[in-house]
C-alpha cells in the first residue's frame, strides 16, 4: 500500500509526533491537522474539500466553486482501516473510528463512532 499526501499550493498539512500511517490518502486544499500519537489504519482517506463543484452547471463550467473546510484530528485518536474523513470534521482526543466508516460530522473526545454515515456507538472512559 502506498501513502499519498497531496497538499495544494494554499493547503497546509500538520502532522503531530508519533503518528502512524499505513497506505493512507490525505488531500488538502485548506488545512488538515493530525494530533500526536494518532493512528490511521490502512487505506484511510482524509479530504478537506469536495474536489469538484456540487452544482451540475458549475461542474460543467468548471467554475472553481469547490468547497473546502479544515479537518482537525486530535491526539491519541485511532481511525480504523478504510475509513473516510470528510471536509469540516473535527475528531476529539482519544476517540475511535471503526473500520470502513464515513465521518461527515464532528466526533467529541472519548467516543467510539462507526458506520456509513458514522454514528456514535459509545463513550469511553477518560484517563
Residue-by-residue DSSP string for the chain:
---EEEE-TT-EEEE-TT-EESS-EEEESSEEEE-TT-EE-TT-EEESB-SS-SSHHHHHHT-----B--EEE-TT-EE-TT-EE-TT-EE-TT-EE-TT-EE-S-B-TTEEEEETTEEEEEE----
Rounded Cα distance, 25 and 17, in Å: 19
| 31 catalytic residue (yes or no) | no
Q: Which of 6, 10, 52, 120 is catalytic?
A: 52
Residues with a known catalytic role: 52
Amino acid at each position: 500500500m502506498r501513502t499519498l499526501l497531496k497538499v495544494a499550493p494554499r493547503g497546509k498539512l500538520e502532522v503531530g509526533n508519533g503518528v502512524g500511517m499505513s497506505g493512507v490518502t490525505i488531500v488538502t486544499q485548506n488545512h488538515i491537522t493530525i494530533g500526536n500519537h494518532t493512528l490511521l489504519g490502512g487505506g484511510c482517506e482524509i479530504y478537506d474539500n469536495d474536489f469538484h463543484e456540487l452544482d451540475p452547471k458549475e461542474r460543467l463550467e468548471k467554475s472553481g466553486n469547490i468547497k473546502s473546510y479544515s479537518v482537525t484530528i486530535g491526539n491519541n485518536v485511532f481511525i480504523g482501516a478504510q475509513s473516510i474523513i470528510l471536509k469540516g470534521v473535527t475528531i476529539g482526543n482519544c476517540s475511535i473510528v471503526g473500520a470502513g466508516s464515513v465521518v461527515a460530522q464532528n466526533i467529541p473526545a472519548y467516543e467510539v463512532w462507526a458506520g456509513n454515515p458514522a454514528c456514535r456507538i459509545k463513550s469511553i472512559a477518560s484517563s
